[in-house]
Structures are given as C-alpha cells and as structure tokens.
Structure 1
C-alpha cells in the first residue's frame, strides 16, 4: 500500500472537521498527484501537529480534506540548531536549506558576509525569503517533519552574532584543526557557515569574541552548501537522533 502523501496546510485540525487546501497544495493534490475523492493523505500544520485525512472533494478549483485523526508529529530532533548560513547564489542556497531541514535544523538565518557575493534589495529579499521558506516546507513534506523551521530575513553577520544565546556556538573554519570537543549534549547550538570565499579574519575574530569555537571538518575544504550537511550530520550523530 502506497504511503499517503504529506501536505503542508497552515490550519487548525479538528477531528471531523474539513480543511480546504490552499491553491498550491490543491493543484499538487488534484493535478500532479491526480488524487480522487476517498484517497488518504497526511496534513501537517508546520507547528508540530499532523492529521490523517481523506479527500471529500477533489475538483480542479477546490480540494477539501476531512480530518480523521490528529496527533503530534514525531520528526523533530532533540537538538535545537540555529544555522547561520552565508547567502550563496542560485541552487546552492536552496540545497543548503533543504538538507539542513532534512537534518533537523530548528531555524536558519541567511547572512551577508564580507566575501559573500550576494546582496539582495528589499523587494528581492522578500521574494527570496518566501522562496526559501517554500524550500523548507517541501523538505518537511518529504522528510516527515511536522514543524517547519523558520527562515529568518537575511541580515548582517555582525547583527546575528550579537543575538546568539545558544549554549554551544560553532564556526566552521578550515584553518583550524580543532575537532568537536564538547562531550555532553547541549540543549541548543548555533552553527555558522561562511561563503564560498570563506569568512574574513575580522569575521572569525568577531565570532570568537561572541563565544564561538572554531571547528574543522577535516583536511578537505567543503563547499558552502556541503558544509552544513556534514556539520549537522556530525552534531545530530553526537548529540541528536542520528
């Protein structure tokens, strides 16, 4: 029996209640998946709740699901990681966000850095932010998470550093040979990933001044979109649920 598709719907779920799917989700269900009335699907609200549902209407203009059961999602990691990711061009940023969400990240902030070559004007930044949040939603649909991690508006690295209160703070830096020294699982982690050209020495100093520890992932220099995947895998293996 095929697994019921998972669809994100920002709604309150009540057993016996009906949920009208928003346009994008409705189009995906009716036209892409070609689901019909009576088909089963799983809805999640992005805040941690999942609902088993059945389609009661599957038209071209309107798709409605009836909630049969509601339960808490089980896809969240016990390790809360806030990823500060230097903005990269094109699909690289999408890839970094997608994989970070699959690996249980709790929040992501895109960062402007000295060597980063992306600067977004206000109107373009809002469109990019909506796109990145959609990437996160799609990753949650695929990987089984019921909580969609927020993608915060892009900001300067200096601003992000000044707000950190996570217990363990790490910055990837290829010029160090320091491995992950923490032995006990921290309740929260902030992880800083620089751009393709790396963080400047001034930025590395600023991170260390904000109580970030330098971390090496081995002798090979990883691309900016690969680094969060490897670092998050390491953290989830040591302290999370991998």
Structure 2
C-alpha cells in the first residue's frame, strides 16, 4: 500500500487534505476515491487512510486505524557528513535515511567542493530534507531523518562540548592510532559519526574533532569514497 509523509496531527476519523507533495504522488498513481493508503507524521506509528476525493490538484482522505509499528534501528546514529558534490550528497542522504540515521548535519569542511551560504544553503537543506522524506516513505520508516543546519567542525564542537551525554563520538580517520570500528561501538545505543568530504578532513579539522571527544576509527585497509564510508558504518550499526 502506498505510504505518504503527512506532517500534521493525525487521529482516527479525521478528514484532511494531503500536503501538496503527497497529493501530487497520489495523482500520479491515478488513485481513486475508496483506495487505501498509509500515512505517517514522524511522531510514531502509521495510520490507514482512505481517499475520499480527487481534485485537480488536491486530494482529501479520511484517517483510519493507527498501527503502533516502528522500524527504527537499535542504535541511534547522528551523522556529521562532510558536504560532497551535488548528486553524491543527495545519494548519501537517501541511503543514510534508508539505513536508519536519526539525523544528518551537513559539514562545511575545508575540502568540501560545494559551499553553502544564505538562500542557497536554505534551498539545499530543504531539498535534502525532501530527499529524506521520500526515502522514509519508500523504506517503511515512520520517523524521518532530520536534516540539521550546515556548519563547520569547529562550530559543531563549540555547540556540543566534550563530555556531553550523547553517546560515543567517532571520526573516520586514516591517521595512525585509529581503533577498529567494532571495538569502539560495543554496547553503544547512541553514536555521533563524523565523516569528511572528498579528500577527507584536514589535520586541523581532525584535531578539532579529537578535542571535542571524538575517537578516531578505521574501516580497514581500503580507502572508501566520501559517500561510501559513512554508509558502511551505518550498515554495521543499524542492520542488526
């Protein structure tokens, strides 16, 4: 049954108009009154719903039974991802959502190809949040990965000082003295993961991360692409 994100208060028996994005999708699917869909608003579980009216650009539904089903990972992963080139960042957001990331903070790293400021930054963040919504609809999650405002490593560290009760902090590193990922995450239920852009984090950025309590970890002898490495970590942490 098609699933749609509906960021509004939902309750059984409620009649409402779908938000524009969901309405367009229902139109594309050529659904008709009486057809069933599922709705979720990111606050937990999902609702059955029935299409009651198909307008030219709007769709009305009646909300039915609530199902308290969750498909979240046992480990909450907050991803700090160095901003990569356009399509690669879209792909990273999509796959990270499918793999269960709780939030993604785009990191404006020194080696990031894409630089975000002002209105362009706002549009990109809105675009990535839309990518996360679509991925949640497709994969069955009833919680949507939150896309936070872009910032530098130093800015994030200043707002989240070392010692904060947010679980273990890990930074993917190619430097000497890294620990295997499996050793660093044993028994953890919350992980903040920092991963660099193409070319990786600079030594200064990595030093800032270490000062903020990040533990340097390695995924082994192979050098993975900027969009592949954090997904490998997510898969290891959430697919269990």
Q: Same fold (TM over 0.5)?
A: yes
Q: Is contact 1:103-1:232 (8 Å) kept?
A: yes
Q: Is contact 1:73-1:145 (8 Å) kept?
A: no
Separation in 1, partners of 2:185, 2:3: 37
Q: Is contact 1:111-1:154 (8 Å) kept?
A: yes
Q: 1:18 aligns with which of 8, 15, 18?
A: 15
| Structure 1 range deviating more: 165-174 or 123-132 | 165-174
Instruction: Specify the SS of the correspondent of 1:219.
Output: coil
Separation in 1, partners of 2:16, 2:126: 23
Q: 2:97 aligns with which of 93, 101, 111?
A: 101
TM-score normalized by structure 2? 0.92
Q: Is contact 1:11-1:19 (8 Å) kept?
A: no
Q: Deviations over 1:130-162 (max 9, x none)?
A: 000000000100111111121011111111123
Separation in 1, partners of 2:56, 2:70: 33
Could you tell me which residue of structure 1 aligns to residue 141 of structure 2?
Answer: 145
Could you tell me which residue of structure 1 aligns to residue 31 of structure 2?
Answer: 35
Q: Deviations over 1:100-150 (max 9, x none)?
A: 111111111001111112211200000001000000000100111111121
> Is 1:58 aligned to residue 61 of structure 2?
no
Separation in 1, partners of 2:114, 2:55: 42
The within-5 A match list for 1:77-88 is 77-88=73-84
User: Cα distance, 1:38 vs. partner?
Assistant: 0.8
Separation in 1, partners of 2:54, 2:185: 52
TM-score normalized by structure 1? 0.92
Figure out how many residues of one structure are paired with residues of the other and give that number. 234
Separation in 2, partners of 1:91, 1:55: 34
Q: Is contact 1:86-1:110 (8 Å) kept?
A: yes
Q: Deviations over 1:145-204 (max 9, x none)?
A: 111121011111111123343221111112345202136422311000101011111111
* Structure 2, unpaired ranges of 5+: none
* Structure 1, unpaired ranges of 5+: none
The within-5 A match list for 1:80-229 is 80-164=76-160, 165=164, 166-176=166-176, 178-180=179-181, 181-182=183-184, 184-229=186-231
**What's the Cα RMSD here?**
1.5
Instruction: Specify the SS of the correspondent of 2:121.
Output: helix
Q: Is contact 2:86-2:114 (8 Å) kept?
A: no
